[in-house]
């Protein structure tokens, strides 16, 4: 059962919060006070059992005192998510994020909005608790997490489907430590593929305070029920002109410092933004259809990137919509691209249907032949996977 703490002198707001968390089967501990103690021990010592998940400060508490108190709580108890009830301004938002506050709540928020924000904060708290004791090899390295570019020189090969399923699968390994970024800036479909209606997009995330502070940047991300975050493409394709390759590079460096996995759904081709991704990527998942234009495009892409010295160190080739009836064999594909195929996704009716309804295959748990291939792709990014015997790194795939 979830546990929440509210500190405010406003008893009317306490009734709102209590109504909001009631459907969540949570326990609310209310402290009616117009001031905050020097540290959290005075509050937490009055509780027994498991520590709380969410701490709500305000309204009607001095904002400066709330920010100082939040900083101490975040330092001593990083597993607790802190919410501040205050009017949102650029200064307040920036100082709140730097103080470790998870989100802001307007004082006039109705119970439905309060419940939504508290639920997000609870998910974040659960992810933090899991992240406090990672097993060997987990968590970002000294250089940060892994940036996984999902690539294809040609469109229409299922790149977004692969990217969203990969992000969901990695979210099951590292909850709240995965973000999927839609860098198909003109026609990106990550939002629809995950059934999201983002409040902010990448357009807002590459300007203003977000470019200076990774905590502020996190407020522009959209939380998905699979315990992952998403940064979606611009609502208007014209906004693409406002986003440069330098913006993309800086954004990915920021996200890499905060997340264990950054999955990037790129645009088809090798444009400015795609090249900027490749300069930062630790891994590239190359998606290829079982048709001659797609295969030849992949071979050409490999050749160009090798000449430019932009080929990421870790390469994963995925053959999508594989079917013997196309007249091509797996050996034909490998001979043409000059590289082994690592993962094969057989032609499937369920896979495109899952994308159309906005629920990735690895999220709804459907039994489909493509699920096995997607799981194999996710496994390649598990900590310690490279330590497997070499003969298993490129096991012979079979096209049904």
192-221 pLDDT tens trace: 999 999 988 999 899 877 887 777 788 788
2-131 and 146-392: identical CATH topology? yes
Q: What SS3 state is found at 211?
A: helix
CA-nearest of 242, 312, 304 to 273 is 242
| CATH C-level class of 146-392 | alpha beta
Helix then strand count (H, E) for the chain reads 16, 13
Give CA–CA dist 385/387, Å, rounded: 5
pLDDT for 86-117, tens place per residue?
988 877 887 887 888 888 899 999 998 998 88
The interaxial angle of helices 159-173 and 369-379, nearest 10 deg, is 60
Alpha-carbon distance 365 to 56, whole Å?
Answer: 35
What is the tens place of the pLDDT at every residue in 61-76?
A: 999 999 999 999 988 8
In angstroms, the CA 84 to CA 106 distance is 9
Q: Which residue has the higher pLDDT, 265 or 308?
A: 265
> pTM of the entire structure?
0.69
* Closest C-alpha to 29, from 45, 37, 39, 38: 45
Q: Which residues, 6+ apart, have CB-to-CB distance to 134 below 8 Å?
A: none
Beta strands in the chain (DSSP E): 2-7, 26-31, 54-57, 81-85, 101-105, 146-151, 178-183, 222-224, 228-231, 261-266, 283-289, 314-322, 343-346
* Domain spans in the chain, listed from the N-terminal domain onward: 2-131, 146-392
130-180: pLDDT as tens digits:
554 444 344 444 467 899 999 998 888 899 999 999 999 999 888 888 999
| Contact in structure between 180 and 228 (CB atoms under 8 Å) | yes
Superfamily of domain 2-131: Response regulator (3.40.50.2300)
Q: Report the distance separating Cα 304 and Cα 329, nearest Å.
A: 25
Contacts of 302 (CB under 8 A, 6+ apart): 286, 311, 337, 338, 339
């Amino acid at each position: 059962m979830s546990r929440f703490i509210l500190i405010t002198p406003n008893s009317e707001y306490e009734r709102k919060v209590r109504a909001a968390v009631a459907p969540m089967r949570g326990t609310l501990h209310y402290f009616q006070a117009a001031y905050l103690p020097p540290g959290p021990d005075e509050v937490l010592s009055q509780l027994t059992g498991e520590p709380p998940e969410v701490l709500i400060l305000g309204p009607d508490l001095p904002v400066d005192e709330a920010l100082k108190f939040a900083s101490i709580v975040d330092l001593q108890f990083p597993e607790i998510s802190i919410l501040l009830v205050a009017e949102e301004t650029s200064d307040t938002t920036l100082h709140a994020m730097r103080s470790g506050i998870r989100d802001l709540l307007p004082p006039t928020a109705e119970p439905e909005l309060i419940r939504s924000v508290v639920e997000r904060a609870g998910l974040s708290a659960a992810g933090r608790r899991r992240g406090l004791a990672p097993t060997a090899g987990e968590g970002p390295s000294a250089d940060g997490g892994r940036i996984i570019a999902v690539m294809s020189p040609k469109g229409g090969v299922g790149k977004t489907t692969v990217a969203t399923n990969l992000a969901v699968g990695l979210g099951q390994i590292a909850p709240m430590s995965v973000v999927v970024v839609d860098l198909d800036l003109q026609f990106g479909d990550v939002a629809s593929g995950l059934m999201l209606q983002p409040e902010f997009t990448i357009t807002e995330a590459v300007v203003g305070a977000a470019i200076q502070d990774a905590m502020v940047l996190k407020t522009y991300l959209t939380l998905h029920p699979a315990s992952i975050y998403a940064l979606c493409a611009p609502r208007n394709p014209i906004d693409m002109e406002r986003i440069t390759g330098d913006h993309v590079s800086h954004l990915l460096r920021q996200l890499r410092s905060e997340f264990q996995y950054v999955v990037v759904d790129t645009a088809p081709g090798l444009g400015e933004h795609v090249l900027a991704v490749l300069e930062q990527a630790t891994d590239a998942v190359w998606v290829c259809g079982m048709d001659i234009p797609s295969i030849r495009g992949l071979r050409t892409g490999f050749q160009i990137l090798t000449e430019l010295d932009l080929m990421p160190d870790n390469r994963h080739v995925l053959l999508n919509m594989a079917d013997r009836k196309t007249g091509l064999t797996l050996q034909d594909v490998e001979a043409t691209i000059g590289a082994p195929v690592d993962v094969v996704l057989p032609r499937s009716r369920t896979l495109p249907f899952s994308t159309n309804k906005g629920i990735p295959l690895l999220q709804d748990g459907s039994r489909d032949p493509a699920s096995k291939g997607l799981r194999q792709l996710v496994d390649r990014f598990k900590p310690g996977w490279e330590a497997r015997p070499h003969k298993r790194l490129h096991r012979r795939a079979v096209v049904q």
